[in-house]
Structure 1
Amino acid sequence: MTASSAKPVLVFDSGIGGLTVLREARVLMPERHFTYVADDAGFPYGGWEEGALKARLIDLFGRLLAKHDPEICVVACNTAFTLAGSDLRAAFPDMRFVGTVPAIKPAAERTRSGLVSVLATPGTVRRAYTRDLIHSFARRCEVNLVGSEKLARMAEAYIRGEPVADAAVRGEIAPCFVEEDGRRTDIVVLACTHYPFMANVFRRLAPWPVDWLDPAEAIARQARRLVPPLDGVAPGEDIAVFTSAGPDFATCRLMQSFGLRVV
């Protein structure tokens, strides 16, 4: 296959947090072009009823695949993939999906204290998928699930350059830090792709140093394994699609800074 005949890599998120994954994917797949899709009309996913959100995702991907015909779909959203990943694969068996799940296995392998926290959305915390990951890979650890109602919105604001109060952020991350029998939490899994954009803020406000585990690079590596390399550099442009069809000026400017044309 030549670059001129290449299909795009589709990166999907509920909002703009999936840009963390896009950033890593571009490094590993420089010859590919990308279509970034933000379901901002449905954001945030944390408060959705599961059946309604699953139906929305199946319907939305049906339209996205028909319109953009991607080589592969990277679902850069923990809430979406832990809920509907298997359903998407069943509904679209000819498409390859790379999912995003909480990085509980690598956290369990790296922790020294045995105290691990998972900072996520309420939807991801509720998922049986998340509990199964803990049962399969972290039974020797004490895993503290922290479902933040507000942090995804804060991260969206922060990414756009809007001010976010330290006290508000500190209140959302505080439950991640546990002290028990002389041990302290030493790893916090960032189980929402929005959160790595605020990692420096988290580090500054944390009561003690921890490893903030960002899964973006691992997701990009998996996508690279599944996408065939091309001869030459892809000439196609990278675009951003918003389901609301009306992103604000700050969001459009952010997309431009990532080299994405909003369509």
Structure 2
Amino acid sequence: MKDVRPVLFYDSGLGGLTVLREARYLLPCERLLYVADDAAFPIGRWPEEDLLVRLQDQFTRLIEDHDPKAVVIACNTAFTLGGVALREAFPGVPFVGTVPAIKPAAERTASGLISVLATPGTVRRAYTRSLIESFAAQCHVRLVGSDNLAELAEQHLRGEPVSDEALLPEISDCFLEQNGQRTDIVVLACTHYPFLANRFRKIAPWPVDWLDPAEAIARQLVRVLGQDLASVPSESPDLAILTSGARKPAIERLLAGFGLALMPGRELMPKSI
């Protein structure tokens, strides 16, 4: 019997579309459901306890309503905080997480100077520090928490103007010169940031490798699905849920560009909204 359950992608906003885009290339037959918890955006500013409660509440309803075959948490902040708890709460659902790409950065760097550009929540997380200790102890890793970049990326995606003057202060601390060496890799540790990568390249003081983990996350999803991979294209449309219930033409056009139709009806929103 054909398995029509969706693969669910979760993010606080539109940044997770970078991961969904890569997954679509590798999984052309899967039915995809994208959930943007934009009612809570930006979640990097939430107190950890409150955010964890919200994540558990959201996923209880989403898994009950949609019975996903797998879940991709396409958000560093959400997964580094709640990934372990969500896997324990829903043992029957495979979870694929998003964590800062510190290990591949440590493997690629020539100078030994790496920066991790993230939200303040991801920078604070013990999970991030443990990745550095485990995989990049031989490197100098600078953690740079941006209060505004995720929101600036959302504005950019909606077609609103975002100036270089607004972006430059958010990335300038990523660039370090030390002992004749320069930062050569910046880890984009928020799925929103790759949407601004071309802008970053233009305003950066010198060229660096802007490391986007989206492709690696998509490959991990393929491995997790294993024999559950769909072999026949789904007849059901790929859908998106915005927990705010907003229906703005610019957002609907953007989602359509990623092959997603906005799901109608607030009755489908998580109960906490």
Return the TM-score normalized by structure 1. Answer: 0.98
Q: What residue in structure 2 maps to residue 26 of structure 1?
A: 24
Aligned length: 261
1:251: Cα distance to partner? 1.3
Q: What residue in structure 1 maps to residue 169 of structure 2?
A: 171
Please, which moves more after superposition, 209-218 or 243-252? 243-252
1:115: Cα distance to partner? 0.2
Q: What residue in structure 2 maps to residue 120 of structure 1?
A: 118
Deviations 1:66-116 (A, max 9, x none): 111110000000000000000000111111100000000000000000000
Q: Which AA in structure 1 matches 2:104?
A: P
Deviations 1:167-194 (A, max 9, x none): 1101111000000111000000000000
Deviations 1:232-251 (A, max 9, x none): 22222100001111143221
Q: Distance in 2 between matches of 1:26 and 1:132?
A: 31
Q: What residue in structure 2 maps to residue 216 of structure 1?
A: 214
Q: What residue in structure 1 maps to residue 74 of structure 2?
A: 76
Q: What residue in structure 1 maps to residue 132 of structure 2?
A: 134
Q: Distance in 2 between matches of 1:188 and 1:230?
A: 35
Q: Distance in 2 between matches of 1:231 and 1:225?
A: 15
1:6: Cα distance to partner? 2.2
Q: Which AA in structure 2 matches 1:236?
A: S
Return the TM-score normalized by structure 2. Answer: 0.94
Q: What residue in structure 2 maps to residue 244 of structure 1?
A: 244
Q: Distance in 1 between matches of 2:230 and 2:149?
A: 39
1:231: Cα distance to partner? 2.8
Q: Distance in 2 between matches of 1:248 and 1:44?
A: 19
Q: Distance in 2 between matches of 1:256 and 1:168?
A: 28
Q: Distance in 2 between matches of 1:92 and 1:231?
A: 26
1:229: Cα distance to partner? 2.3
Matched, 1:190 2:191: no
Q: Which AA in structure 2 matches 1:230?
A: A
Q: Which AA in structure 1 matches 2:32?
A: F
Matched, 1:38 2:36: yes
Q: Which AA in structure 1 matches 2:120?
A: P
Q: Distance in 2 between matches of 1:164 and 1:246?
A: 22
Q: Which AA in structure 2 matches 1:186?
A: D
Cα RMSD over matched residues?
Answer: 0.9
What's the secondary structure of 2:105's corresponding residue? helix
Q: Distance in 1 between matches of 2:233 and 2:32?
A: 13
**Which ranges of structure 1 fall in alignment gaps of 5 or more residues?**
none
Q: What residue in structure 2 maps to residue 255 of structure 1?
A: 255
Deviations 1:114-154 (A, max 9, x none): 00000000000000000000000000000000000000000
1:230: Cα distance to partner? 2.4
